[in-house]
Amino acid sequence: MKIDAIKFAGWRNFKKGEVFPAPGVNVVVGQNGQGKTNLLESVYFLSTGFSPRITRQEQLINHESEYLYVSGKGTRAKEEPVWVEMGLHRDNRRVNKLNGALVSRLGEVVGNIRSVLFVPEDMDLVKGGPARRRRFMDLEICQMDSGYRNDVERYKRVLQQRNALLKFSTVDGTLLAVLTEKLIKLGMNISCKRREFVKKLSLLARLRHRRLSDGTEELALCYTPSFCLESGECGVAAQVREHSKQERIQRTTLFGPHRDDITFLLGSEDLRSYGSQGQQRTAVLAVKLAEVELFLAETGDLPVLLLDDVFSELDQVRRRLLMDSLPKGIQAIITTTEPLSETNPQKTFSVRKGQITELV
C-alpha cells in the first residue's frame, strides 16, 4: 500500500494543504507544535475514520473552520488506486466518499487506505485504561476485516438499548431476552475476532521485541475477554444469566466486549506496573512493527507506516536497528524535530505553522 497524495482543509492547524509522499521513506522535519503529528494523524484518520489522540471528534476540526475535509489517494499492490474522502462537520455530521461516490457507512471507506501509526501517546496502550486497548483492537481489526466495524456499531446500539432497559425498575423480560441474545451473538463475534487478532499479534510482537531489546525478556500480549469464550454460546448465555440479578441491581450490562482488556506481560510480570519507561516504549514499538507484519500476512500488502518522533529517545545504534528492521519496500512517513542521518529519505518535508513544503 502506498499513499500518493493527501489533501486537507480545516484539519487541525492545517487550514489548507496537500502533500505528495514518495513511495519509500519520507521524513517530515519541524519544530515543536508545527503540525508533524497532525499530518500523520490525518493519514490514520483516512484509514480508520478515527484518531487515538482525541476524545471528541470536533477536536480535529480547525478552530476557525466549520468542517474538516481530508482526502487521500492510495494504491495497493497490483490494484487500481482508490480515493478516500472524509468530511466532518461541527454538528458531527460525516460525509464519506469512495472514488468520488458518496457512501453512507463508515465501514465501507475504512480499510481502503491501511496504516499503522506510532505516536508517543501510544504508551497509553500499556499505561492507560482498558478503553484505550479496546479502541486499539477495534481500529486495527476494522482495517483488516471489512465486516468488523459494522459488528461493533451494531453491538454498541444493542448495548445502549439493553442498558436503557435495565435502568427501569420493572424490566420487560421478553425484550431483555431478545436483546441479551443479540448481545451475545454480536459480542461473541467481536470477542472471537479480537482473540484471534491478539494471539497473532502477540506471536509477532514477541519476535520483534527480541530484536529490538537485547533478547533477555519475553513479551506477550494476553487477551482477557469478558465472555468466557471457551464455553461456547450456551456457556456465555449461562454466564450472563448467572449475573442477571447483579445487572438489575447495578442497572447496566456487566458482560461483553465493552469490558474486554489486553494484558502486556514481560516475562511473567505485568508490564504496566512493573516495566520501566524504556521497556514500555520498546514493547509498544514492537507491537506496532508486529502489526505491520500482521497486515502483510492478513491482506497480502504492507500498510503505510507512520512513525511519530520515534527516534528522539533512541540512541544511534537503536535508530539504525529500527531503520534496518523496516520491511523492504514499505512506505514510511517519519517525523522528527532534527534532521536524521540514519534514515536516508526519498523525500523530505518541512512543516511550519501548519504549512508543509517539500525540500529539494
Ligand X SMILES: Nc1ncnc2c1ncn2[C@@H]1O[C@H](COP(=O)(O)OP(=O)(O)OP(=O)(O)O)[C@@H](O)[C@H]1O
Binding site for Mg ion (CB under 5 A): 36-37
Q: Is 13 in the site for ligand X (CB under 6 A)?
A: yes
Q: Which is nearer to Mg ion, 183 or 356 (CB)?
A: 356
Contacts of residue 354, Cβ cutoff 8 Å, sequence gap at least 6 = 12, 13, 14, 15, 17, 34, 35, 38
Find the shortest distance in angstroms from Cβ 222 to Mg ion.
Answer: 31
**Could you tell me if residue 10 is left (phi over 0), alpha (psi between -120 and 50 degrees) or otherwise beta?**
left
Q: Which is nearer to Mg ion, 37 or 253 (CB)?
A: 37
Per-residue CA distances from 64 to 32, 40, 59, 70, 184 (Å): 21, 21, 12, 16, 44
Per-residue CA distances from 344 to 323, 331, 339 (Å): 10, 13, 10
Q: Is 339 in the site for ligand X (CB under 6 A)?
A: no
Q: Which is nearer to ligand X, 63 or 167 (CB)?
A: 63
Q: Is 38 in the site for ligand X (CB under 6 A)?
A: yes
Interacting span for ligand X (CB under 6 A) from 54-62, 72-80, 149-157, 231-239: 54-62
Q: Is 33 in the site for ligand X (CB under 6 A)?
A: yes
Q: Is 59 in the site for ligand X (CB under 6 A)?
A: yes
How far apart are alpha carbons 270 and 339 in whole angstroms? 36
13 binds, among ligand X, Mg ion, none (CB under 5 to 8 A by kind): ligand X
59 binds, among ligand X, Mg ion, none (CB under 5 to 8 A by kind): ligand X
Find the shortest distance in angstroms from Cβ 26 to ligand X.
Answer: 15
Q: Which is nearer to ligand X, 30 or 107 (CB)?
A: 30
Q: Is 37 in the site for ligand X (CB under 6 A)?
A: yes
Q: Is 26 in the site for ligand X (CB under 6 A)?
A: no
The residue whose grid cell reads 521513506 is 25
Q: Which is nearer to Mg ion, 36 or 209 (CB)?
A: 36
> Residue 216 phi/psi, 5° resolution?
-90, -20
Give, as ranges, the residues between 272 and 331 that touch ligand X (CB under 6 A).
309
Find the shortest distance in angstroms from Cβ 239 to Mg ion.
Answer: 43
Q: Is 63 in the site for ligand X (CB under 6 A)?
A: yes
Tell me, residue by residue from 186 to 205, as one string, x for binding to ligand X by CB under 6 A and - for no binding.
--------------------
Q: Is 61 in the site for ligand X (CB under 6 A)?
A: yes
Q: Is 253 in the site for ligand X (CB under 6 A)?
A: no
Find the shortest distance in angstroms from Cβ 284 to ligand X.
Answer: 17
Q: Which is nearer to Mg ion, 36 or 208 (CB)?
A: 36
Look up residue 295 and give its three cell numbers. Answer: 497486515
Q: Which is nearer to ligand X, 32 or 341 (CB)?
A: 32
Positions touching ligand X (CB under 6 A) are 12-13, 30, 32-38, 59, 61-63, 309, 337
